[in-house]
Amino acid sequence: MTGFVSFVSSGPGDPELLTLKAVSRLQTADAVLFDDLSSGPILQHARDGADLVGVGKRAGRPSPKQDHVSRLLVDYAKTGARVVRLKSGDCGLFGRLEEEMEALRAEGIGFEIIPGVTSAAAAAAAAAIPLTRRLTARRVQFVTGADVTGGLPEGMNWQALADPAATTVVFMGKRTLAQLVEGLEAHGLPRTTPALLAESVSTPDQKITRGTLQSLIETLADGPGKAPGLILYGPLAAEG
């Protein structure tokens, strides 16, 4: 008997931001494979007796390989288990969801995707700003600041990223911010552009640092630190 996998979005960390469907799946799962940022109080919703397996990947730390995570999903499902793959933020944003889906499809295993609160929306809420505004912030874009090697991705759309009328959210960008800002400046976006750094959003350790692209480079000069964070820049970042 083949089981079933639910890709569950855990949101940015606050268990109160879980959807009702996410909680329901956690309460009925036989096994929960969770990211680092989805651990802690969120796992209290898992039923007693469920297997809890940490499979999170964090930059600069020993982490499970992606093919190992996909293999675990397949192996658990083949026992007939109801499996939750608990991903931080929203499953579909920079979480390598597609690779895990393809592994399940290849084995004929059914799955569902349960969306959730992305850390970008949670960061804007914590900073008391909207992500868009008519005329002055007409567009919002999400981009990763790191590829699989941890460096700034190649082939970035610099014209879009340097749009002064867009709100841009950079995931996993603390290590590569200085390099990103060099590219933005070369394409016309000044270092004085308003920006904020949101770390450990929606958790007791939450920290919002406001400033400019240049001042955030200086803030991170001693290293990115251990706290998960994202960078938001654009015309609305100075408000709140």
| Residue 51: CA count within 13 A, CB half-sphere | 15
Instruction: Single out the residue of 30, 27, 33, 4 nearest to residue 15, CA to CA.
Output: 27
Catalytic residue among 35, 87, 90, 174: 35
Structure tokens at 222: 């001693």
Q: Are strands 194-199 and 207-212 parallel, antiparallel or unpaired?
A: antiparallel
- 35 a catalytic residue: yes
Catalytic residue among 21, 57, 78, 207: 57
Helices 97-106, 66-78: inter-axial angle, 10-degree rounding: 40
Separation CA 159–CA 134 (nearest Å): 21
- 57 a catalytic residue: yes
Q: How many CB atoms within 10 Å of residue 61?
A: 9
Annotated catalytic sites, by residue? 35, 57
